[in-house]
Structure 1
Amino acid sequence: MTEHESSATRTAPLAGQTVRHGTGVNSNRAFPTEAHPQHLDPFVLFERFYIEPDQGFPMHPHRGFEIVSYMIEGGMDHEDSLGVTNTARENEAMHITTGGGIRHSEFPADGAGCNGLQLWVNLPREEKEMDPDYSDAGPDELPTQDLDGATVTTVVGDGSPLSTHTPLEYLDAEVTDSWRWELPDEWTGFLYVVDGAGTVDVGGTATGSADAIAEGEVLPVTDAESVDVAAEGSLRAVAVSGRPHGEPIRQQGPFVL
């Protein structure tokens, strides 16, 4: 255990907050919420969205950040002002750089509901007006590693065809026993439980001070190099970390200024 790990600030897992969007879509938002009102530089927000068959997001604008959408169940139809149309299904990911401005729509596919995860990543000040772009990747393109106690898929990061302008790593971990999540030094991150329950031990102290965590809860990590995750039966979580910009995050609705 390093000195940095032993002095890491402990943060207990927090319950997500239900957010109802103006279009009628419900989300479980990890942050920012009343319990965790601040952004998590370089991350603007993270939530799990649930779209019913008769709901969705009509064409709307964004600018100033990047979006990573990762589907959990069902399919979601995407269309944007770049002329891109795509349907993302279970374990497929889409990446959008909104840059100086893009418009897009999101609706459930095939007349059925869907749910997935959406992450907003701030762009540094000097890249706010860059050209928008789009990319996507299916599950067969995302590298997966089988470990002793977990199966880990890299959604964004080493080996993934998806890359972001802000250095980050986005992992999807199916934990059947235990798994140690390693974060690069001085990066900020969070772990969000998609399904199941277990415990998390920040800093890997193995002192019996692990905290319980369950579906819909998030663990912000701002001062640690590792988190030990143990499953109770099974646990699926996404673990996301990125290099902070050290700049204020100014969100105004669909724009990050």
Structure 2
Amino acid sequence: MSQRKVAKLLTGHLVREGGGVKLQRYIGMERDNPYEPMLLFDFFDSGNPLDYIAGFPSHPHRGFETITYLLEGRIEHQDNHGHKGVIGPGDVQWMTAGRGIIHSEMPKESSRLTGLQLWLNLPADKKMIQPAYQEFTAEQLAYEALPNGGELKLIAGEREAASSPVKGIATDPLFFDIKLPPESEFLQKVAESHQCLVFVLKGELLIDSQRIASKEMAILSSGDEVHLETSTEACHCILIAARKLNEPIARLGPFVMNTQEEIFQAVEDFRNNQF
């Protein structure tokens, strides 16, 4: 086994998106997509409705997947294909934009809104598939009690004891919500072919003796195993891994394709109401 180490530590950059929603962006500021297939990672956490209530009015996507995982609050979403729903605390929405979708994501006012959104690329042969949703409540997702008293929630992927209901994702991802008590550890095999990151929501974590603090993200080196440890403080973290596609990436806002010609076509199709 070759354990992954911390290759890079990332902190969030304050951005405003949609109607002015206040976010911390960890991935997506770069121009060369160094963490593919992870194209974007945004974290939002506010008790002030003015930071989020304007939401994300109708906007398009093509060529990738968006994953919204909510920890607190509620978000209503609807699209031009007739899908509408509300996700709440602990729920996940996995949207495959494929050939094109126009949707809105509008938070409901609550005492706090906390969650994250991840964009995962699609391979060239799946960029123009039909749009699709997979949406699961916290109760529908799989859980595993860890031997050290911790808990693992499987948003995507599988382990020996449990598997996520999210299926058919092109990049074969792992997406785990992990809670570890003090003085504990967690081991997970991760294919060498996968990009891998850990995001600390609360507490602190050690990876190969390197400390990752709350609201820091660790991009991990190559290897086939992830070893997480806690010291005197408990930790709540997110582990994500997904297969690298090693394909050209052309990107313009909400469109992610392989060539500039495909980007131009996406813009034209959107303008001509062909999504």
TM range (shorter): 0.7 to 0.9
Displacement of 1:112 in angstroms is 5.2
Aligned equivalents of 2:6, 2:116: Cα separation in 1:
25
Partner SS, residue 13 of structure 1: strand
Asked if the contact 1:170/1:239 (under 8 Å) is kept, the reply is yes
| Map 1:1-257 → 2, pairs under 5 A | 2=1, 4-5=2-3, 10-33=6-29, 38-50=33-45, 52=49, 54-110=53-109, 113-149=112-148, 150-158=150-158, 159-163=163-167, 164-176=169-181, 177-201=184-208, 210-231=209-230, 232-257=232-257
Q: TM-score, normalised by structure 1?
A: 0.87
The secondary structure found in structure 2 opposite 1:233 is coil
What is the TM-score of this pair, normalised by structure 2?
Answer: 0.82
Q: Distance in 2 between matches of 1:67 and 1:20?
A: 18
Distance change >3 Å, CA 111–CA 144, structure 1 → 2:
closer
**Equivalent pairs: percent with the same residue?**
29
Partners of 1:256 and 1:113 lie apart in 2 by 31
Cα distance, 1:181 vs structure 2: 3.2
Contact 1:13/1:212 (8 A) holds in 2: no
| C-alpha distance 9-140 of structure 1, shift in aligned 2 (>3 A) | closer
Taking only aligned residues, the RMSD between alpha carbons, in angstroms, comes to 2.1
- Change over 3 Å in CA distance of 1:98–1:239 after alignment to 2: same
Shift of 1:155: 0.2
Q: Is the 8 A contact 1:39 1:45 kept in 2?
A: no
| Other-structure match for 2:264 | none
Q: Note the C-alpha offset of 1:39.
A: 3.5
Whole-Å separation in 1 of the counterparts to 2:188 and 2:24: 23
Q: 1:205 maps to what in 2?
A: none
Q: 1:207 matched to which residue of 2?
A: none
> How many residues are aligned here?
244
Structure 2 CA distance for partners of 1:77 and 1:113, relative to 1, 3 Å: farther
